[in-house]
Amino acid sequence: MLRIVNLTKHFDDLIILEKFNLTVPSDGFTVLIGPSGCGKSTLFDLLTGVVPKDSGEIVWEQRRMNHLGRNAAYMQQKDLLLPWFSLLENALLPARISKTDMVKSEIKARKLFRRLGLAGFENYHPAKISGGMRQRCALVRTLMFDYELVLLDEPLSALDAITRRSLQALLLMLQSDFRKTILMITHDIEEALLLADELIVLTPAPMRIRKRFALTSPKPRRMNDPFLVELKERMLELLQEDAGLIIR
């Protein structure tokens, strides 16, 4: 379980987080959604140690730490594949960094390539494949880190709708088949409703939790579910209200 306790971050006079609290349950799929600039990506920067926190606690599996460091895999909007490496070489970067047995790592990577529909493309370079395939490779690389906790920062936002839908199923696989604990940022309400066990609506900066929604219906879900349609409208109202867009 991940616990964030009283996390605070200021940039000069700009308050991004002020005593922010969040609990992410083990094996859960928690999705954060909020207005642009509210502090979602800053939260991930603090969790991964990209920027230092001013105060507060980050607790993973009952251990306090300055940042998650090598306890979490991080997948971003951009695939960040190295263009001079093949897809397989990109996927094996975590093994090289951690100096893991490369023979065993390559066997594992090739199995993941088959599982995620990339078999036969191991020796292709990123420029030769589609954006969806690059994100699949980035997902293989994320799984190669073999961490229980996965942070996802809008990993599908740059993809077309059809590709996005197919990759959403792969994100669900992270939880169902690989038993990962997932914390995800998205701006897409429908995506959040399809994936989340718990959906958290955030306020503008300084970021706080505006509303929590528990989603207990089985996955995969469909957006024609009346409960999801109603929940989408409620979330839109909350987000528009915070943005000052509600006309009364």
Are the CB atoms for 8 and 53 separated by under 8 Å? Answer: yes
Q: Give the C-alpha distances (Å, rounded to integers) separating 65 from 9, 25, 28, 70.
A: 16, 18, 21, 11
Domain holding 21: CATH number? 3.40.50.300
Q: Is the peptide bond before 126 cis (omega within 30 degrees of 0)?
A: no
Q: With H, G, I as helix, E, B as strand and everything else as coil, classify residue 184.
A: strand
Report if residue 7 sits inside a domain: yes
Q: How confident is the model at residue 178 (pLDDT cuts 50, 70, 90)?
A: confident
Region at 220 (left for phi over 0; alpha for psi -120 to 50; beta for the rest): beta
Range of the domain at 164: 2-242
Q: For Cα atoms 158, 245, 45, give the angle at the middle one, nearest 5 degrees.
A: 40
What pLDDT sits at residue 248?
32
- Please tell me what DSSP assigns to residue 203: P
Count structural domains, the chain.
1
Q: Which residues are registered as beta bridge partners of 211?
A: 201
Rounded CA-CA distance 174/230 in Å is 27
Report if residue 248 sits inside a domain: no
Does residue 174 or residue 105 have the better pLDDT? 105
Report if residue 247 sits inside a domain: no
pLDDT in tens, 113-167: 998 889 999 999 999 999 889 999 999 998 898 899 999 998 888 788 888 888 8
Q: How confident is the model at residue 246 (pLDDT cuts 50, 70, 90)?
A: very low
Cα 233 off chain centre by: 23
Report if residue 13 sits inside a domain: yes
Q: How confident is the model at residue 243 (pLDDT cuts 50, 70, 90)?
A: low
Burial readout 128-158 (b: 16 or more C-beta within 10 A, e: otherwise): ebeebbbbbbbbbbbbbbebbbbbbbbbbee
Strands (E), 165-243: 181-185, 198-202, 209-214
Q: What's the mean pLDDT in 216-226? A: 92
What pLDDT sits at residue 35?
86
Number of Cα atoms under 13 Å in the Cβ half of residue 183:
24
Report if residue 25 sits inside a domain: yes
**Longest CA pairwise span in the chain (Å):** 64
